[in-house]
């Protein structure tokens, strides 16, 4: 009876442990799904952002994904360690209870044999024979009952072992699939990071080339502006010189009209100094 109760408790604890493991697997799967959704959302956000922001967000997302994977691995390891500890304690309790049951059975057998010895000493042959036959019949019935019980327990243990093996195989397949998904997501994330880095470097080179071209254009425009400013200054100086000459000629003409002389009629023709022409650069 104690062994049967122990087996029932062991079977009750094993489904609880399997349920705990399944709950942990479901929680890990849900976290993985949330991480994948968040990664997809971040990819969608990053596709519309600038290259530099894209690179920074991808790096931050890669760091968060690495931390999440590490936490998931640590939690899975802790769950496995807890499951192993619970299984070890269950097996130890079963072993102790089975040992106590065997000790009780042995004590009962010893007491029965002692009583049989006492009966053999004190009783007659017929009594001894009937007692022996009754003892043999009782032992046979006990043996049959024990054998049936042992067979039933073996069948139950086989079924529990098969269920545990199936659950373990399913958990291993789920862990492998989850690890494969994580590796694939990490690989895709790394490729996206490298591609974004290359795009950023290409965009930076293009912007630097544009800046150099604009610097050259600005230099050319500065030179042209300097030449135009010099030309305008020369024209202004020439204009001022011409105006001064015209003013001097007008003053000379006024002076000649106020004081005319006989010999100055033919010598007072206006002499206009033409300004030297300047060439455009």
Output the 3-class SS for 220-278. HHHHHHHHHHHHHHHHHHHHHHHHHHHHHHHHHHHHHHHCCCHHHCCCCCCCCCCCCCC
Q: What is the pLDDT of residue 192?
A: 87
Q: What is the pLDDT of residue 6?
A: 44
256, part of any domain = no
Q: What is the pLDDT of residue 3?
A: 43
271, part of any domain = no
Q: For residue 152, which of 11, 17, 19 has the smallest C-alpha distance?
A: 11
Q: What's the rounded Cα separation, in Å, for the pair 83 and 81? A: 5
CB 46 within 8 Å of CB 170: no
Q: What is the pLDDT of residue 127?
A: 67
18, part of any domain = yes
Helix (H, G, I), strand (E, B) or coil at 82: helix
Q: What is the pLDDT of residue 246?
A: 92
What letter does residue 48 receive in the DSSP assignment?
A: T
Cα-Cα end-to-end distance for the chain:
119
20, part of any domain = yes
- Domain count of the chain? 1
Structural element, H or E, at residue 11: helix 2-47
Structural domain span for residue 174: 2-205
Q: Output the tens digit of pLDDT for each of the chain's 281 residues.
A: 444 444 444 444 455 656 666 776 677 777 777 777 777 776 666 555 555 666 677 777 778 878 888 888 888 888 888 888 888 888 888 888 888 988 888 888 888 777 777 766 665 566 667 777 777 788 888 888 888 988 898 888 888 888 888 888 888 888 888 888 888 888 888 898 888 889 989 988 998 998 888 888 888 888 888 888 888 888 899 999 999 999 998 888 888 776 555 454 444 444 444 444 443 43
134, part of any domain = yes
pTM recorded for the entire structure: 0.32
Q: What is the pLDDT of residue 275?
A: 43
155, part of any domain = yes
Phi-psi region of 208 (alpha: psi -120 to 50; beta: other; left: phi over 0): alpha
190, part of any domain = yes
162, part of any domain = yes
């Amino acid at each position: 009876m104690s062994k049967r109760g122990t087996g029932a408790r062991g079977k009750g604890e094993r489904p609880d442990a399997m349920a705990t493991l399944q709950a942990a697997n479901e929680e890990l799967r849900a976290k993985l799904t949330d991480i994948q959704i968040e990664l997809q959302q971040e990819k969608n956000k990053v596709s519309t952002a600038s290259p530099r922001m894209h690179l920074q967000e991808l790096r931050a997302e890669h760091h968060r994904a690495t931390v999440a994977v590490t936490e998931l691995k640590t939690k899975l390891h802790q769950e496995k360690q807890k499951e192993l500890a619970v299984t070890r304690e269950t097996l130890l309790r079963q072993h102790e209870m089975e040992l106590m049951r065997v000790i009780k059975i042995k004590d009962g057998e010893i007491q029965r044999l002692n009583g049989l010895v006492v009966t053999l000493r004190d009783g007659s042959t017929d009594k001894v024979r009937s007692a022996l036959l009754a003892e043999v019949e009782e032992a046979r019935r006990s043996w049959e009952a024990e054998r049936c019980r042992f067979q039933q327990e073996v069948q139950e243990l086989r079924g529990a072992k098969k269920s545990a093996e199936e659950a373990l195989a399913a958990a291993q397949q789920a862990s492998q699939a989850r690890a494969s998904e994580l590796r694939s997501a990490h690989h895709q994330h790394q490729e996206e990071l490298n591609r974004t880095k290359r795009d950023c470097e290409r965009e930076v080179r293009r912007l630097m080339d544009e800046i150099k071209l604009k610097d050259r254009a600005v230099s050319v425009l500065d030179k042209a502006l300097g030449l135009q400013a010099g030309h305008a200054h020369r024209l202004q100086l020439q204009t001022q010189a011409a105006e001064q000459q015209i003013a001097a000629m007008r003053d000379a003409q006024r002076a000649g009209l106020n004081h005319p002389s006989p010999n100055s009629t033919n010598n007072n023709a206006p002499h206009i100094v033409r300004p030297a022409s300047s060439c455009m650069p």
